[in-house]
Structure 1
């Protein structure tokens, strides 16, 4: 299900791209809401993309459940739902270009060896010229494509805390890495604004490196705090799923806006999802979002 708005700002486009590995929880719904409002407040467009490339993680029925839940909360894609699994041919074509340009190489190092290096790769396979396919593939990082800082629209200036080393763009099981696929998706789908959880800040450096390597213009990145439960743990799809849209008397969207620092008026607490969405689009304030990497949910939201 999708709709089109003739007054849409075609130059601004955002997305929500969950992995269909389970039901949405309060944290993922909050991220979806924030990504939606961040472009809709400026009359931009918003799409839903299911990042289903990592097939071992995909849970049967999760995609349909995610879409149904988003529609229940009036978070509706402006275009047909996208799926990473539909883009395999494109990933292969661009991968072939990187191989031909000698911008990546095969690596046979084991997970155990990489862990002994604290996951900072030592370039052992860079000049081996391995040819067998039962290997991972790494992108070469050089002075021309390296990225060590970027401006986050919420968290401010971000600088990498460690040495950026050649990273994997295709795994040994031949599945393309998340960072590789998502960069291509965002580019071909004309995404200009990416808003997501702060647990992906470190991954953003690799994504920006890929943008430079592929000569793609990157989107503007914004990262909201990760939603934690009262015990300081990140919410999970298995433990904190939104079951039957919750039994709470308060609107979940109201609680999400409150958590995002948007200060929704009390009279919105029991209003319909559409009325809350309409208010939020008119009053969206990114600067009010806490400049934190994580934040616990309120006592009211513990019932979710």
Structure 2
């Protein structure tokens, strides 16, 4: 299944592949398995590959380069930039034009390509007017090394300012049964501007798969996120169990139901569930075959209305980087 990315963007796979987890974000890396998974996605016609220059200091881009060697035209490369890293995790954000111009050249080298399809500002830098950052990105488009510009985790106000400088093709932001903050302001704003939505974490970092039964099942950075801790974990698990029951009735997995719900929210939405295993890639892609009726959507809404989830998306120190 292909969908148009924004009113002026290209046709891309409705279910793409988020590659972050291939570089140690969730458990051990498996480079060989990850390369095979990326290549399988391309074989199946699912061309949207999402990465960032800060995923394990460029490791993720190098991994993708290995996987798409000789297949560049089959892949749509979505690359995020502007998030610095530190030994303790995500560091400050930079939207400085000089930083952007330098970062893109390094990405091109690691990806072994002469252009990036969608280049996305990962976060809005509060110290640099977004218009200046978008101005630098538009220069890259004029040079032909970037084809489309994206934003991530931006407020409706910042999106409008950015779009006044150069067309914005896509907004990448967390959107799932668990995370629906964008429905109030951001989603209406991007629809008014003809900007496509790239929904990340449609499975809420795997929790909606139903595979996690206790907090001890999480051995990676998810254990530091409020939704997966203590009492919040068990409250949220009750919601997942209800979704699992409904998925059984629909003859699909809980993951497929969750992804199908995201896709059902509009033809202008694509989603990028992450995995490093072919098994889960194929399961996620099969979500396109799950047909949700009006009654199904009403049932899901009754089980999991907006705002019902316990706990915030990120630890408090990271929440101020969102919706800028």
**TM-score over 0.5 for the alignment?**
no
Q: In proportion to residue count, which structure has more helix?
A: 2
TM-score by length of 1: 0.32
- For the pair shown, the structure with the greater C-alpha radius of gyration is 1
